[in-house]
């Protein structure tokens, strides 16, 4: 097995360029619309990225010392640097995309909840009945709630584990999947927004309704300041929890034990999505489609790049 020990690659540069492009779009849109991000949350995010960036640089310099670089310690330092660099990328990307998602919701095209509920009915799924049945099963309700809440911890722990165990290619694949799928998610969700099943059917608890409370405020224009520490996931179609669950499993496919454990957990997360996340069943189906579209697009791109490489006996091309 060839071990990729590079901390920074051309692909990483492209991913950072995408973050900067979205950041510029957010900045211009915020200024033009008279909206803003709270200073405290912005400072906290910048400090987190700066800290991770500093750790990346320090570990890279240590790993490059002549007496360390060729040793196992040098490999460990490079792995830690890669994890820190990817952590900085994740923090940055999730922040700029969260702001962009809020700005896109302010466009407020007509809601499609009635159409999504009708599609569910065609599939034989009735959300209020499913919700009531799950809430009547305390143990099942508890398990599904934990599974749904595992999305954020997995977003931190899965890439960290992959990077620390030296699976750099899988880590970078995961980041590419995450970034492209987020862009596709917003391209789909913006023209077809939905308030979600919690709001549409009106049978959720006050705590559950609070998880999507920003949606109507953004559409009405009354929410002018965004707090990065309090951002809500407001996309109904497609279900991003579903797509993420499949990305987590895909990222762990190099280990049999890991893929079984992560597979079972994320199967539960997908099952939990309608009742715990207030999603229609068609949202879940679309989430699977989002995963397939992302993987297919990146696979096609990888195949084209591979075909463009010179044959083994051809003259090498400048890099």
First to last CA, the chain: 24
Q: At residue 76, what are phi and psi to the nearest 5 degrees?
A: -65, -45
The span from the CA of 111 to the CA of 194, in Å, is 5
Per-residue pLDDT band for 246 (boundaries 50, 70, 90) equals very high
**Under 8 Å between Cβ of 237 and 286:** yes
- pLDDT at residue 195, as a whole number: 97
5, 75 contact by CB (below 8 A): yes
Domain segments of the chain: what residues? 10-308
Task: Confirm if 116 and 240 have CB atoms less than 8 A apart.
Answer: no
pTM value?
0.93
Q: Residue 212: how many CB atoms within 10 A of its CB? A: 20
Q: Kindly report, residue by residue over 166-188, the tens digit of the pLDDT.
A: 999 999 999 999 999 999 999 99
pLDDT digits (tens, 9 = 90+) for 44-96: 999 999 999 999 999 999 988 888 887 888 889 999 999 999 999 999 999 99
| pLDDT score recorded for residue 5 | 67
Q: Rounded distance, CA 319 to CA 309, Å?
A: 11
**What is the biggest distance separating any 2 CA atoms in the chain, rounded to whole angstroms?**
68
Q: In this predicted model, what pLDDT tens digit does every residue of 5-46 receive, in sequence order?
A: 677 889 999 999 999 999 999 999 999 999 999 999 999 999
């Amino acid at each position: 097995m060839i071990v990729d020990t590079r901390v920074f690659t051309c692909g990483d540069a492209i991913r950072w360029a995408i973050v900067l492009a979205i950041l510029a779009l957010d900045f211009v849109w915020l200024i033009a619309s008279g909206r803003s991000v709270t200073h405290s949350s912005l400072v906290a995010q910048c400090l987190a990225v700066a800290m991770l960036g500093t750790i990346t640089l320090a570990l890279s310099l240590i790993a490059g010392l002549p007496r360390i670089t060729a040793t196992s310690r040098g490999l460990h330092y490079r792995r830690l640097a890669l994890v820190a660099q990817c952590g900085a990328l994740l923090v940055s990307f999730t922040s700029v995309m969260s702001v962009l998602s809020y700005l896109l919701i302010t466009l407020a095209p007509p809601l499609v909840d009635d159409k999504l509920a009708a599609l569910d009915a065609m599939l034989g799924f009735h959300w209020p009945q499913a919700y009531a049945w799950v809430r009547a099963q305390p143990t099942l309700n508890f398990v599904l709630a934990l599974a749904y809440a595992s999305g954020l911890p997995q977003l931190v722990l899965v890439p960290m584990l992959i990077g620390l165990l030296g699976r750099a290619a899988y880590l970078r694949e995961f980041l590419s999947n995450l970034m492209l799928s987020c862009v596709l998610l917003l391209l789909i969700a913006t023209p077809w927004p939905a308030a979600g099943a919690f709001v549409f059917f009106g049978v959720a608890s006050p705590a559950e309704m609070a998880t999507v409370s920003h949606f109507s405020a953004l559409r009405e224009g009354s929410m002018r300041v965004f707090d990065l520490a309090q951002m809500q996931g407001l996309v109904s179609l497609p279900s991003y929890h579903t797509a993420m669950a499949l990305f987590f499993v895909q990222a762990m496919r190099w280990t049999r034990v890991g893929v079984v454990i992560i597979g079972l957990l994320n199967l539960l997360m997908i099952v939990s999505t309608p009742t715990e996340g207030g999603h229609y069943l068609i949202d879940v189906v679309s989430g699977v489609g989002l995963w397939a579209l992302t993987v297919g697009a990146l696979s096609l791109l990888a195949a084209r790049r591979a075909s463009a490489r010179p044959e083994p006996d051809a003259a090498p091309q400048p890099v």
